[in-house]
């Protein structure tokens, strides 16, 4: 290994990113609770993610295309420097 400190630095940065993501998920779940939004059912497959949800007293469903979710998450990761 030519640069062990570079690898250690990447690990420490990844751990910090993980902590930020964990906090963000906690915040999102708290906001969902405040807005009375609950996920009733979720089905993931290679093409999309289907979610049945309840908002207040109304039920609905949404389908999110996997390719779009992957593209958006990759784009955000690249902008923040997580991915090169």
Q: Which tops the pLDDT comparison, 61 or 14?
A: 61
The values of phi and psi at residue 34, to 5°, are -60, -40
Q: Which residues contact 78 (CB under 8 A, 6 or more apart)?
A: 84
pLDDT in tens, 26-82: 999 999 999 999 999 999 999 999 999 999 999 999 999 999 999 999 888 888 776
DSSP class of 47: S
Cβ proximity of 23 and 31 under 8 Å: no
Residues β-bridged to residue 17: none
The phi and psi torsions of 81 (rounded to 5 degrees) equal 90, 10
The SS3 call for residue 6 is helix
Mean pLDDT for the stretch of residues 15-25 = 92
pLDDT at 83: 66
Q: What does pTM read for this prediction?
A: 0.78
């Amino acid at each position: 290994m030519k640069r062990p400190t570079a690898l250690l630095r990447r690990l420490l940065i990844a751990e910090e990113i993980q902590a930020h993501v964990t906090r963000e998920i906690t915040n999102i779940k708290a906001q969902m609770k405040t807005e009375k939004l609950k996920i009733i059912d979720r089905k993931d497959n290679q093409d999309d993610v289907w979610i049945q949800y309840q908002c207040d007293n109304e039920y609905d469903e949404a389908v999110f295309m996997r390719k779009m979710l992957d593209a958006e998450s990759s784009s955000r990761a690249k902008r923040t420097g997580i991915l090169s």
